[in-house]
Amino acid sequence: MPSLVVIGAQWGDEGKGKLVDYLTSGADWVARFQGGNNAGHTLVVDGIKTKLQLVPSGILREQTRCVIGAGVVVDPTVLLAEMGSLRGAGLTLSPERLTIDRDAHLILPYHVAIDLAREAKAGKNKIGTTGRGIGPAYEDRAARCGVRFADLFALPELKERLTDLLKQKNDYLTKVLGGEPVDFALVWSAVETAARELRPYTGNVSLLLDGALKSGAKVVFEGAQGTLLDQTHGTVPFVTSSHTVAGAATTGCGVGAKYLDHVLGVAKAYCTRVGSGPFPTIMEESVAHQVREKGAEYGTVTGRPRACGWFDAVAMRRAVRLNGIDSVAITKLDVLSGFDKIKVCVKYVLDGREIDDVPSLASEVDRIKPHYIEFDGWQSDFAGVKKWHHLPAEVRFYLTTVGEIIGAPVTIASVGAERESTIFSSGASFVRNFVQIPEEA
């Protein structure tokens, strides 16, 4: 049956897409379970970059079937553009390869308009959303007034409902947010295009995955964003609008918890954060600039520069607990090559006292004084490094020690953007179900 949940263990942008792409060489299915086109995964295969926002990262593997779960909010215009781009690159995107759950909600033009108007009205107090309408779409889902893919099969009913709904949205836009109203023709055009182009791709993902798992298929559940951006358990209010933790795979795809066999947490050898919000281990800008440029730390979706910080083991211990992480992949070790010393935050001090978890209030997170330990740095360019015992001794010591500190073993190391720059320890036994890993010599 084996299933693997791949989640971000920091503030997102950890390199999950690359790991999913690599791990699906032996997988049968890849399921995206939350988020929207505010998530971006950049894959590099044979030097060619592929940027994905909604389509699961397994799409580059022709034998892998990809599904978008009910927990995802989908902008049909963005999805169709992404599908067109992938077809242009020579990939097959038939309904046999890609299925969107009938209960997934659509992002429509008024969601985007509300998102942008809110941020503009908030001014310096804005949250730092991507402005893609993700939050307003999730709000409509909770308010039971959203539009689902199932509605695309009943357009006359939907048109009547949308006429009334848009009047409410425009009242809110103009009278509360001071924005411009959205024209019904624009909304309906997006709906009609989605119905025409995407109805063949719409199906019952829960039923499909249940059958696949019962038949012994290998399934990878792909998360978006990161644990510390979880709507409930993240650094509220500077969080995303969905649940980013591993448990969301069950509700986001409609499968039982018994089907989640192994949780792989992905983290960088340092931390990054995009948008607003407190960031306890933020680096001095002179150091952050080096990391940002070497690590290409700019948003896949927005292009915004990411704030860079040292590895935060306190926040990582929280991620291990919230997700039930079984093992960890550490990415971008190559970015830190050349530093004499590498810092890791091992405890927080708040108002003079040590605390053992990330505070709930953003104002308290902002007052944290991080306590660091230092590791000897490494100078390797990692060229030709293919096995764990070929990693520099300083890197192996860093990975082993970090695993002990956070309470979950580090079994995967990524030392470059390419698929092949992924190295597995002998402890990565479960992951061998999904990809051919060279045995340790």
Average pLDDT, the chain: 91
Residue 441's pLDDT band (boundaries 50, 70, 90)?
A: very low
The answer, yes or no, to whether residue 283 has pLDDT greater than 60, is: yes
Between 393-406 and 313-323, two packed helices, what is the crossing angle to 10 degrees?
60
The answer, yes or no, to whether residue 355 has pLDDT greater than 60, is: yes
- Which residue ranges form the domains of the chain, and what is each CATH number? 3-81+205-433 (3.90.170.10), 105-200 (1.10.300.10)
Signed CA dihedral, 61, 67, 71, 75: sign only: positive
Residue 271: beta bridge partners? 309
pLDDT at 420: 80
pLDDT at 15: 87
The answer, yes or no, to whether residue 71 has pLDDT greater than 50, is: yes
287: Cβ contacts below 8 Å, ≥ 6 apart: 308
Residue 130's pLDDT band (boundaries 50, 70, 90)?
A: confident
429: Cβ contacts below 8 Å, ≥ 6 apart: none
pLDDT at 111: 97
More confident: 1 or 310: 310
| pTM for the structure as a whole | 0.92
More confident: 260 or 92: 260
> What gap in Å lies between CA 78 and CA 387, rounded to an integer?
39
Active-site residues, by number, are 13, 41
Give the model confidence (pLDDT) of 369-425 as tens digits.
Answer: 999 999 999 998 888 888 999 999 999 999 999 999 999 999 999 998 887 889 999
Give the model confidence (pLDDT) of 184-200 as tens digits.
Answer: 999 999 999 999 999 99
Burial 277-316 (b: 16+ CB within 10 A, else e): bbbbbbbeeebbebbbeebebebbbbeeebbbbbbbbbbb
pLDDT at 440: 46
pLDDT at 47: 64
**AA letter at 249:** A
Q: How many C-beta atoms surround the C-beta of residue 183 within 10 A?
A: 13
Q: Rounded mean pLDDT of 280-305?
A: 87
Question: From residue 405, how far is each of 167, 175, 320, 377 by CA, in Å?
Answer: 54, 52, 11, 18
**AA letter at 382:** F
